[in-house]
Amino acid sequence: MMGRLLSRGMLAGVFAALLAFVFARVFGEPQVNLAIAYEAAQAALANEPPEPELISRGVQAGWGLLTATVLYGAAYGGVFAIVFSCVYGRFSRLCARPLALWLAVICCVVAVVVPGLKYPPNPPAVGDPETIGVRTAAYFIMLGLSFCSAMIGVVIARHFAPRLGHWNANVLGVLLYGVLIAGLSAMLPDVSEVPADFPAQVLWHFRESALGMQLVLWAALGLVYGALAERVLEPARA
């Protein structure tokens, strides 16, 4: 049973990744091209020679982006299937479809939205190459803190559910998660390396497209996996 759920999770992740790839190609890549053009213009003004292009933009925006997105979707689909299998029938009485959709919403908030509020994605030409290690470490610390805070919220909600009721306990867990992540994120260093003359519209649209790509991926993953899992776990309902 676990193998069947896991394979369907990876399949749903690949399908969701294909939709996210289309979204990124349409909305994200134009902003990347504008950022690269800005970077090239700044290098020309400084009389710096252009950096050698190890991988062409065509490959980066085509097969490279597709390969990375599919691998990302398959990996997250497998992890999502494992989490779903642990929650289904143990921590929730929801059917497969609504449970998968709710889990997708929670995972998107915990793994994408909250870390992105502290360390939003940046296009090329934004960020000092010498601080990339610090910035990467800070982002993954923020991601880990978000997951840990969410787990604490879940434990507290389950503990107080018999006393407060499920709705009130869940609200308490969400509030606790918000307080914990707000306090912990304030302890992490802020990163602000956007050049003063970088086009604000390009930066804004790039971050919009990055968030939209994640929303498409997680929404599709939740919807598709819920339908596939229902056929395995609830054949009569399906």
Residue-by-residue DSSP string for 148-186: HHHHHHHHHHHHHHHHH-HHHHHHHHHHHHHHHHHHHHH
At 197, the amino acid letter reads: D
Residue type, 147: F
What own/partner pairs with CB < 8 Å and gap ≥ 24 does 89-94 have? 91/154, 91/158
Strand partners, 88: 92
193: its two tokens: 């390396």
Q: Pseudo-torsion of CA 119, 105, 179, 115, nearest 10°?
A: -10
Residue 49's Cα: distance from chain center in Å?
36
Which 3 state secondary structure label does DSSP give 234? coil
- When the pLDDT of each residue in the chain is averaged and rounded to a whole number, the result is 87
Q: What is the largest CA-CA distance in the chain?
A: 69
Q: Tokens standing for 140?
A: 């993954």
Beta bridge mates, 92: 88
Q: What pLDDT was estimated at residue 82?
A: 92
The pLDDT assigned to 136 comes to 87
d(CA 37, CA 22): 22
Query: 172 — phi, psi (to 5°)?
Result: -60, -40
What's the CA gap between 153 and 171, in Å, rounded? Answer: 9
Is the distance from CB of 218 to CB of 16 less than 8 angstroms?
Answer: yes
pTM to 2 decimals?
Answer: 0.86
Q: What is the pLDDT of residues 118-157, one digit of tens each?
A: 998 888 777 777 778 888 899 999 999 999 999 999 999 9
Whose tokens are 């009569």? That residue is: 236
pLDDT of residue 238: 57
Query: What pLDDT score does 50 carry?
Result: 67
User: Which residues in the chain land under pLDDT 70?
Assistant: 46, 50-51, 53, 236-238
